[in-house]
Amino acid sequence: MKRTNLYFLIVSILIGISSCSKDKGYYNPPILNKDFQGSIYDYLKSKPGVYDSLLIAVDRLGLESTLRDSNVTLFALTNPSFQLAITNLNNLYALSEKPLEYIRTVDYDQLDTMVTQYIIKGSYPADSLRHQDGLALQGVKYKYPMHAKVIKSTSSGYIEGGPELIQLSDTKRSQFTRDWIGTSTASINIQTGNGVVHVISPDHVFGFEDFITRLTFNPPPPNLFKLYGGTYTVSRESGGGPNGVEGSMNSIDGNPETKFLVGWNPSNVTLTFELSEAVIAGAYTITSANDAPDRDPADWNLQGSVDGETWIALDSKSNQAFEERFQQKVFFFPNTIAYKFYRLNITRNNGSDGMQFADWTVNFRK
């Protein structure tokens, strides 16, 4: 009995020594091979049940060759990301008894612009995104500005004690991070033959919160300023004049990335457009500028005139807020009279000492 106990004791000691010599006293997990022998498109196809929705979108948009042949980085969306977006949209449609939508049926242009935000020009493994401020990126098709940065996740109660992730952000074309909408990855650095795949966390809703907004947006009728032309005047001008960097002509150029900015003392601005001929209008739009939501218009009224002397109230709004930068809002009003003059009186902003917006239009009646 004593010899047997001694034998087991010696064997146990030898096993312990052997184990310590292998791992040097700490856990050293094996490095997982994340190289995939094939293109990014082939990688997506090799994971049935994971990227089915993304593949439907890619095939519908004709992006297969991009994911096979181009040098790109894909922030890959798994099925739950699309399912969340489609479910949210169809829940809203159900309230108005609209037919259900699917990836194969949603508006092509909107789907195209949203999907290509996740496909980045060039190859960007995590090492290239370790800069303190991250890295500005461009979408593959329309050069849409995105941003990515390596971050440390939280683990076991330790802040930044977990694995590395990538934070991908839709910049909303704003230089201010407070305006950005971000998501994080679940897996990173899958190397393929033509680029890198980083897998987006499954709780991310496809479209960076814009999916429903884009697909339920009610476009305005045709713009009377563009169709008929005329003369544009403002009650107060920016320091650089009407054609300056932030002058009033920016507010009718149809470009949301330019803006009209003016000081807010006194606290009102009147914008008047005299059309080349009298036209019946029934809608107007205002588009928010690139930054500083506290400069957005909050209260205003729209008026029409036949002769430029007598003005008729057409619509008024108060306590308005623009939820996003570069956001165009459409307002409809009843009207059967053709006016040659239309003017917008902005009477209050959201608290800043300046007032700004990107564009406004007066539009045909529907």
| pTM check: above 0.85 | no
The pLDDT tens digits for 248-282 are: 999 999 999 999 999 998 889 999 999 999 999 99
Amino acid (one-letter) located at 94: A
Q: Is 121 helix (H, G, I), strand (E, B) or coil?
A: strand
- Domain 224-364, architecture per CATH: Sandwich (2.60)
What are the residue ranges of CATH 2.60.120.260 in the chain?
A: 224-364
Query: Which 8-state DSSP code applies to residue 253?
Result: S
Please measure the distance between the N-terminal and C-terminal CA atoms of the chain and give it in whole angstroms: 100
pLDDT recorded at residue 313: 98
> Are 319 and 300 within 8 A, CB to CB?
no
Task: Spell out a b/e string for 215-246, using b for 16 or more CB atoms within 10 Å of the CB, else e.
Answer: beeeebbebbbeebebeeebeebbeeeeeeeb
**CATH: 3.10.20.740, 2.70.150.10, 2.30.180.10, 3.40.50.720. Which one for 40-216?**
2.30.180.10
The pLDDT tens digits for 219-237 are: 789 999 999 999 999 999 9
The pLDDT tens digits for 110-146 are: 999 999 999 999 999 999 998 888 999 999 999 999 9
> Are 147 and 135 within 8 A, CB to CB?
yes
Average of per-residue pLDDT across 57-85: 97
Closest among 244, 294, 290 to 264, alpha carbons compared = 294
> Are 164 and 41 within 8 A, CB to CB?
no
Contacts 24+ apart (CB under 8 A), 345-348: 345/268, 345/269, 345/270, 345/300, 345/301, 345/302, 345/303, 346/268, 346/269, 346/270, 346/271, 346/297, 346/299, 346/300, 347/267, 347/268, 347/299, 347/300, 347/301, 348/267, 348/297, 348/298, 348/299, 348/318
Place of tokens 């461009």: 138
pLDDT recorded at residue 15: 44
Pairing outcome for strands 119-121 and 72-76: antiparallel
What are the residue ranges of CATH 2.30.180.10 in the chain?
A: 40-216
